[in-house]
Every structure is written in C-alpha cells, then in structure tokens.
Structure 1
C-alpha cells in the first residue's frame, strides 16, 4: 500500500542519525550538549546547527562509509544535500525532544513520476498538514492510514494519507515531500521529483506562536487551488475564538459554563469591575457565595495561561494586587480575557476504591467528532486526568483511554466519594453532546466551508442523586492534538476499545471521490 518496506534492514537515514548521536553529539560534554539543545530551540541557532551537521557528515564521509560497510545507497545519500539537510533537521528534533524520541526513516532517493504513480495510483491524496516535529507526527499519519484501511469498502479506491510539513508545500498547495505508510505498515518520508497534488487537506499541529496566522495563510492557498479542506480557517476561527464558540453553543441551548469576555482594550480597573459583576451574577444564578472561576486567554490552547481562582462574594472588591487581577493584566497584554465558570463534579481514580481524596484526579474528556457526508459522528477520543484543576496535557495532564476513565469515575454524595456506574445511555449522552457541539459550531455554513473534524472538550456532572450524567461542553479544537492516542468510543463501557481516530471522515472523502478526482458532482 505504499513504498515497498524493508523491515529487515536499517534505513540509511537511521544509520546516519545513529552515527551523529554516537560519534558527533556523543563526543560533547554534558554542558556543551545542553548548550546545543538551547541553540536548537532558537530559529537562527537551528539554521546554523543544520549547516554544521551537514558539514560534519561530509567531513566524516569515509569514516561513515567504513562503519556502514560501504553500503551502496550511501553514495546517493551523500550526493543529495537536501537529504542531508533533512537528516540534520531530524537530528535536531531528536536533540530537542530527548533520547527516547522516535527516529524516522527517510528515503534518500526522490521518487520519479512513474514510481509515485505506482505507489499512489488513482487514489485520493489526503494531506495532513503539520508544522511540528516530524518524528512525532509520523504516528498521526499511521493512525489515519489504519483507519482508512479498516473503513475501506470492498472494491473501493484507496485514500492515500500523506503527512506534509508546511515547508514541503508548493505555492499551489502541492506536496514535494511527504510522510506515508509503506507495505510493511511502516512510516517513511519520501521526496517527489514531480510535485504531488493534494485533493483533501486537514491542517493540524502548527507552531504555537504563529498557529492561527499560519492556518489562515495555508487555508487561503488551499482555497485558491480548489482543494477541499477538512478545517478551513474561516470555520476553524469559530472554535479558536472561545467566546464565539460559547455563543454558538448558547444559541443552540447546549450545556456549557457561564462565561464573559473582557476585551483586550479594557483598562485593568474596568476588567476587574467586569469580573466582580460576573461573580455576583453567577452567585445569584447558582445560589452559592463561593465560586470557582477560570481566567484564560480567549484564544489560548492546551491549557496555556489558564488559571482557576476561588472567589467569595462577601469578601468585598477585587484589588489590583489580587492574584486574579495580576493574571488578567498579564493576559490583556496579549489577548482578550475569557472568564469561565468552573463546572464538573466528577473525578477519576485509578484505584478501585480510593481511600483518600488525594487518590482522586480532575478529568476532562476529548471527543473527536467528524463529518461522515451526512451528519456529525462522535466516534473516538481520550481522557485527560491530573491532580491539578487544569487537566490538559499541555499543563502536565496524563492521557488515558476513554473506557478506562469511564469505568473509574466518582462523585460526591452525602460527604463521601461514590463510584459512578456509567451506562450505555450515559455514553450516548456524551456522544450526542459532542455531535451537537460540532453541529452548532457549523451553524449556517455550507458543507464545503464547514469544520468537518473537531476535538470537543467536556467535563461531566452528576446533578443529583439518581440523575443521569450531564456532559458540560468546555471548548472545541479545530486542530486537535493527540489524535494518535485516541481510541474508539463504544456504547458499552466494558467493551474493548480499539485504536482509532475516525472512519467517518473517510466516508465523507469517498463520497466526494468523483468530484475530487474528475471535477464532477458527486
């Protein structure tokens, strides 16, 4: 189903990476190695290091040749500076990410047009666009290709999943290089002599500091080229803007926390008045004097600058020296501030019977929802658990299997933590809430402009004794991370889940097959 695999032989890229780490980086002392890591994390430093690594390989060519028993493919590798540059980039990725980071098999020879045609055939090319480390993104490519294969009907054409770094795109949105899955189900990176057209694209992991700007520019490129987008920027912006997300959910009467937006242009004194008014209003609505409120950037992701504060309405005003005021001031320098009510009264414990409160962890669910050509389907996800109130992985949270999480939930009743028996009806409520969230995000948008896959975050509540689980929607991510950690969300909690991202999105892509490949209506 791809480049013919050679699992019995280590690739030349892996040999060169091993040589660099053993013989080049390995000669450095610990302090020099740490300095190298710091330089590798800076754009200008990384460029200089890439040149240094390539020059080091060329200088030690004869030594490498002897070490690799003069392999025939070594000559081709050293004659292609682009290939050596890719080796240097992956070496720096592994340097930044640590010794346990995965390696990557890079083909030294570019594929000719004939070889490319033989591999990709007449299938639809589905480009997963990324800007993060390729050594980690290869797992996402593999996960998607497995889902494609598992969901492919008999006698139906293949959808080629191609991981394409944004630097591997032409001005017309074609791919000159890609990560793909070979016949031995191993991910390899290949270059193409002739740029490969992409028929469908999904923009995923991008550098945090430029995430939305890059997505906007990429989306413009793909739209101008007539390429179908799973997550076009205009629709994704509805999820990037958390206040907009909550407004759309509120209009559709979906369960989500109370919120308020403080504009970036606000003076701190005015922002604090808005905070006080929000707390007072929330206190009246919830009939509680003590409240938890999350304060966060309106456009932040993965727990960035998210903090929770507890307020008592009877303790007077909030001064500029209050920790919440300082946090608001810090956010206002960068973004609008979102005030969000604390929700969720269910906890997770890995122990069968937690004896102490410290055994209980905060939990949120990430549910992946995808368009299947006619409706949205919640079919996979994972749970994030943490001893901290912000359970996201970006803040140190741990990813665990959804079903393991659902089998080990507890809620407070009569002063004690009681195990929650999650039923198949509860699971369907979770699915329905996530599907409704995706539908609401796309209110008023035609299919071609819609957000066709989204990660919906939620917490769970037990409103009262003998009442069903209530899913509470927190936010939506149009470029969901951690997809390769996702497992299927089965109706039965005790069912054995499988590794899965989405089969629905491939059904939607196949329904578009004729239009994508032949320019005809489906």
Structure 2
C-alpha cells in the first residue's frame, strides 16, 4: 500500500526524476533509485529534529525508515531490492559519497546510478578498455563525463572509458566500474561478475596521496599507464619545472624555494617589497596558496605568516614566487578578479595539441584564482575580452592572437617532458611594455576540474578528442 509522501520526500522524488530526464511521477527501478536515495540522504533535518547535521550512519538509519514511504516512488519489488542493498557496506559507502556531492556543487554531469546486482557487462569484452583510475570519489562524474563524451565522438560508444576506484582493482583488473550509458545519458556503477583486465589506465583524481598512488599505478600498468609517473613527478615539483622552462627561454615568475622551517628566509624575500605568491613546492591542487604583498606581510602578526608557511610545509618545501598576473579579468561591475588560464595539452603520434581550456577567476584580485579557493570558470574568450591592468586601465587585445600565444607557450612547456598524454597547463597574463605576455605558472599531469573545459575551436564542452584516437592493444581477460 502506498503511504503518503512528506513534502521533503516528494521534492526529492521530483528532483531525482528531473535529473534522470524522466517525467515527474515516474516510478524508478532499483538502479535509478540511486538518484532519489542520495537526495533523501542529503536532506536536512526534518521538522522537530535537531538542527545538527546527522552523521552518515544515522542518515542511513533514517533512510531505511523512509523506505516504506519511498516504495510509492519505485517500481514493484524495487523497495525490497534497495532494502537488501542497504545492508551492503560498499553500496552504502558509495550512496553516502554521492549524497555528499549534492552539497558540494551544482550538478554538472549525469547521475551516477548504483546497480544492485553484479553484471557480466559483455559490451566491455568487445573492444579494448580504457579506464580512468581514481582514489578521490568526490564529484568524480564531473571528471569522467567530458572524457566519455570526447571518446564517444572520437572513437564511438564502444570505446568509452570506464571509471575505476583504486579499491576496485585486483591486480590490473577491475572488479567494479562506472560505465557511461550514452542512450540513457547516465552513469551506471556496478560490480562485475568476472574481473575485467584494463587495457590502458589514466590516473586522475588521486586525492591527497596522489604521488604515492600514481607511482603504484605506474608500476602496476607499466607502458599501459597513460602519463608515466617519472614524467608526472617532474611537473609535481614547481621549482624543477620552472628551471626547465627557464632554460627553454619561456617566461616564468622569479621564485625562491623556502625549505621547511626557514621562516627567516621567507621574511628576507618579502622584505624586498613587491607582490608574491606563497605556495607548496609540490603539487597540491591549489591547497596552501596565498597571495602576499611584500613588506605589508611583515607588519602582520608573525603567527599569520608562520601559519601560512606551515600549511605549505605540510607538503614539503614552500615556494615564494613573484606575482606576474599583471592583467586581471574585469567584470561588468568594474570589479577586478585574479585570472588563471588553464589549457589542456594532449600528446598523440602526430604531436602535441591544445584542444581545450578555460579561464578561472578568483573572488577578487587578492584571492587566488583556483577552484580550491572558491574560484569559478568562465569561457576563455570572455575572459580575454575583458582584460584590465590590475586596478588600472582596460586593455584591448587581439583575442585570437593571444590564444595562439597561449597555445604555443603551453605546448612548449610540455615538450620538455616525455611520456605524458594529458597535461593541464596554468598560465597568467602579464603586461611587459605594451605587449601581453603569457607567463607559465605550473603544469599538472593529473588535471582536475575537467567539467569546466571548453574546446577552443567552438566553445563547446570537451577536453580532447585526440586523446582517444591513439590505438590501444587489448589485453587478455582474467578467467
């Protein structure tokens, strides 16, 4: 018998069907029910409940109690299947992670739906299988979706990569995958009846211990690992990258490495005046980056500078780098925002290509332009059409020429490092005399935020088609 749905559950059902592209009122099967269940988990406290957010275990208890009501939203028999699945630790963990995604970001990719039963996934045995290997599940659909669409366009639906968490690997075979269903426009995550050996692996979204995980994957997959660890490690260390680029005559900021514990050395650099960027020397995805203004920082509380340094030193040495983003993005309200340009460089047998990128702007001109610091992306041409000298005059540029200059600089930066198939290169723009100059900041062989990428050719969403046109050799399936 259908029970009356509360207003909150009715809203969750409507949001779930909207997200799945279904008519409101459509009853969901046990797999598509994930869209509803994660929204129920993400709901705030009901009327009369404590305003303190419930921890995941208690949210799951609440969800189990809501199943009799939710049965009216599901096809016959699905509620019983879901009840059984909620006894599976893997299913529950993934459901909690997917619910957390709703609180972190607006939905920019199709739903990830959890299949309750293991599947043979026969279509995975028909062609060589590419995989994106990840360790951090947070918003992983935002990283997978543009890559899957690119692969569909470049090589066809049978050659779409799957997402595989590190924990789902047994040797070089996957026991569970996230598969993009083109017809339904959703991801299906499922366990496999028989582990499937992966023919090629691209490490992305590896979390806080990304270098260790990358090294492990490189040892496991060897030549089948896209973006070899030894090459990625070079880019992970900003000082090494900068020294290499400087030898090639590329424009970089001047920088000083500040070893762990050397507070006096940091103070000496800042005493020279000017504007600086303090950041970890190792790759951290924007964590620990702070913008500094020379001697002004020395008049702040000593603990403030030390605290910023210690955040960096948690990852190893720190770098104090000259601030070279002389040009900012000026919005329609005449407010300046720090600006970083991210370009994606891909390597194919035909050479290096820059097919896509985006502009990332900070909340203002004193906040780092990174997603970690609350930055947002805008279309590259929009950013280049609204440039201004920071707190100065508007700057009119030849947008097409600037894009060409940016592409050439990004390509030259990656030329110095072999064995990398996909690299995100970050640049800023400076004004040298009357000339706009692209300045290299850093590069990452595990670029994040791929959902924000737009093709330079037409402005449509995408990262790289050529990434999926390189032949891959099929490996034997584990029996």
Q: Normalization by structure 2: what TM-score? A: 0.82
SS at match of 2:130: strand
1:489 lines up with 2:456 in the alignment: yes
- 1:168 CA displacement: 1.8
Aligned position for 1:498: 460
In the aligned structure 1, how far is the partner of 2:308 from the partner of 2:329?
A: 29
In the aligned structure 2, how far is the partner of 1:206 from the partner of 1:321?
A: 35
Aligned position for 1:123: 127
Aligned position for 1:12: 30
Aligned position for 1:94: 99
Deviations 1:421-476 (A, max 9, x none): 22423211100101111112x1xx4xxxx1221110000122122x3x31100011
In the aligned structure 2, how far is the partner of 1:26 from the partner of 1:324?
A: 38
RMSD of equivalent CA atoms: 3.5
Alpha-carbon spacing, 1:34–1:126, altered in 2? closer, same or farther (3 Å): farther
Paired residues of 2:135 and 2:205 also in contact (CA < 8 A): yes
Aligned to 1:339, which of 320, 325, 331?
320
Aligned position for 1:71: 76
- 1:204 CA displacement: 1.2
In the aligned structure 2, how far is the partner of 1:336 from the partner of 1:30?
A: 50
Paired residues of 1:433 and 1:471 also in contact (CA < 8 A): yes
SS at match of 1:301: coil
Aligned position for 2:288: 305
1:407 lines up with 2:390 in the alignment: no
In the aligned structure 2, how far is the partner of 1:147 from the partner of 1:30?
A: 48
Question: How many residue pairs get matched?
Answer: 450
Paired residues of 1:94 and 1:101 also in contact (CA < 8 A): no
- 1:141 CA displacement: 2.2
- 1:82 CA displacement: 7.0
Aligned to 2:277, which of 285, 290, 294?
294
In the aligned structure 2, how far is the partner of 1:130 from the partner of 1:470?
A: 35
Deviations 1:266-285 (A, max 9, x none): 5434x34xx52x568xx7xx
In the aligned structure 2, how far is the partner of 1:20 from the partner of 1:486?
A: 27
In the aligned structure 1, how far is the partner of 2:48 from the partner of 2:217?
A: 40
Q: Normalization by structure 1: what TM-score? A: 0.76
Aligned to 2:420, which of 443, 446, 451?
451
Question: Structure 2: where are the runs of 5+ without partners?
Answer: 1-19
Alpha-carbon spacing, 1:258–1:70, altered in 2? closer, same or farther (3 Å): closer
In the aligned structure 2, how far is the partner of 1:349 from the partner of 1:6?
A: 37
SS at match of 1:12: coil
Aligned to 1:375, which of 348, 351, 358?
351
Alpha-carbon spacing, 1:327–1:58, altered in 2? closer, same or farther (3 Å): closer
SS at match of 1:207: coil
Once the two structures are overlaid, the 10-residue window that deviates more, 193-202 or 214-223, is: 214-223
Paired residues of 2:131 and 2:163 also in contact (CA < 8 A): yes
In the aligned structure 2, how far is the partner of 1:402 from the partner of 1:326?
A: 35
Aligned to 2:137, which of 110, 133, 137?
133
1:268 lines up with 2:263 in the alignment: yes
- 1:504 CA displacement: 2.1
Once the two structures are overlaid, the 10-residue window that deviates more, 172-181 or 68-77, is: 68-77
In the aligned structure 2, how far is the partner of 1:56 from the partner of 1:407?
A: 51
Deviations 1:282-324 (A, max 9, x none): x7xxxxxx41121221125333221222225xx9x99993854
Once the two structures are overlaid, the 10-residue window that deviates more, 302-311 or 161-170, is: 302-311
Paired residues of 1:295 and 1:308 also in contact (CA < 8 A): yes
SS at match of 1:174: strand
* 1:270-285 correspondence to structure 2 within 5 Å: 271-272=265-266, 276=268, 278=269
Paired residues of 1:11 and 1:105 also in contact (CA < 8 A): no
SS at match of 1:129: strand
